[in-house]
Structure 1
């Protein structure tokens, strides 16, 4: 059975990641797994330093360096275990049954590639452990994670608010049409009103695409609102979201349309930086 998998670290986003993961796990009726990866760049495995210039004849320095690295790694490993235990306790308090914990030493991207077959939804914080704390800062690995994953990714802010409404940025393309089908089939947003918003010029074709998507979602009993707004994509979507108090933004992760281009290259970081709500990226 595939899991909701939540990436846990020592960042300010970790509590919200726990809470959104617990919420998603219960909505999807899927088991929850917390994942902590000990970054090998910060805590490398034991290395042979004897070939380093100037150190070969100083055995005591080699031993001391090895001892310090080992101690740092051991402490970081224990810290990760404590974080995972706290995350499990938090999820259990929210009603999740028997959450699991996994800890790995290595690279986050490689770990996610290896585990992808077990993942139904990945939950990850917008700000990672290496963040400088700036509210607009986006974790350095987040774009890479989004690129490699072939599963939906829920990117969380630093605070949790249970979603009560959602907005799908719709452009009529194949990716967002598939996104509509995914939302219609998934229990994740069941019972929540969904806003389908297209940014562009109103035409008969655009309304036909929007109404077809609306019918797909409405057929599952969902309350659906539709709108076409003119303007710049990012600011228009955010303005609509603010106007209607929408808690969750849903987008397709890749593509070539005006909307989906926000998640290609540097614009990914910009879109994530400017949203204050969780962002669900569909693949």
Structure 2
């Protein structure tokens, strides 16, 4: 089965940018593109105890009406999803993708993506979904669950598209980030895009050796690459470097080293995701 770029869309403000970044990634990777919309048919109305003063027959009648309303909501949601998928497909075709696919599934987003994981080369998601709180500090719970569940690269995007021109890899010499360097080096998605490798820490022999290895691997693969070792608090230092060099795509490992952090998204990654105004590619 051909691995593809899969873009999850919903009714949020992020859907247009998800379409555009997925189109860019599909063309760069020369991989098929599929848009996915998931309809959650779990009833939205809790079954309350309506038997009080109105009698059993009335209660049964009300529950029947609630059930019918749930069915109607599901049908409306499916039709809305079909229209969104059609619009996404049209947008991708106009962007140059040949025959993008569409899928609509019933269930939850996380369960659906887990089922489809074997088909995913890259997953593109909006920073927050349609039901997420819109405060900038809030990270959509769907995204956190997806990152914990999936073992595929995930591109989390902001609400406006900008073609990536400069990439920064947050590098710490760990197995995950060394894999990240190797992935960046060979991935056609980053052809012609300068890569910045940043280590946050002290200027030690080991850090310098790790950085030299990363830069050599990227340059041998034909990339323009530069690097830096910066002291300071991790998130603030990375954000400062991003602003200083006009970085428009971040690449990070999804987890830190500790076993406790392994239960959640790595703490630095979570902080960067919350405040990121550029796409973040999470590596597993």
Q: Which residue of 2 aligns with 1:209?
A: 210
Residues 185-196 of structure 1 aligned to structure 2 (within 5 Å)? 185-196=186-197
Which aligned runs of 4 or more in structure 1 are off by greater than 6 angstroms?
none
Give the CA deviation at 1:213. 1.0
Q: Which residue of 2 aligns with 1:34?
A: 35
The two structures have a TM-score, normalised by structure 2, of 0.91
User: Do structure 1's residue 149 and structure 2's residue 150 form an aligned pair?
Assistant: yes
Q: Structure 2 CA distance, aligned partners of 1:101 and 1:243?
A: 39
Post-superposition CA distance 1:151-199 (Å, at most 9, x none):
0000001111000110000111111111111111211111100000000
Structure 1: 5+ residue runs without aligned partners? Answer: none
Separation in 2, partners of 1:42, 1:266: 34
Using the alignment, how far apart are the partners of 2:230 and 2:268 within structure 1?
A: 21
Q: Is the 8 A contact 1:116 1:151 kept in 2?
A: yes
Please give the root-mean-square deviation of Cα atoms over the aligned residues, in Å. Answer: 2.1
1:179 pairs with 2:180: yes
Local SS of the residue matching 2:6: strand
1:225 and 1:67 map into 2 onto residues whose CA distance is: 61
Q: Does 1:57 align with 2:86?
A: no
Is the contact between residue 249 and residue 279 of structure 1 (CA under 8 Å) also seen in structure 2? yes
Which deviates more, 184-193 or 34-43?
34-43
Please list, as runs of the form range in 1=range in 2, the aligned pairs for 1:196-275 lying within 5 A after superposition: 196-256=197-257, 264=265, 268-275=269-276
Cα displacement (A) at 1:148: 0.7
User: 1:93 maps to which residue?
Assistant: 94
Cα displacement (A) at 1:52: 6.5
Give the match's secondary structure for 1:134.
coil
What secondary structure sits across from 2:57 in the alignment? coil
Change (3 A) 1:145 1:218: same
1:141 counterpart SS class: helix
Counterpart of 2:167? 166
- Cα contact 2:255–2:269 (8 A) shared by 1: no
The unaligned stretches of length 5 or more in structure 2 are none
Aligned residue pair count: 276
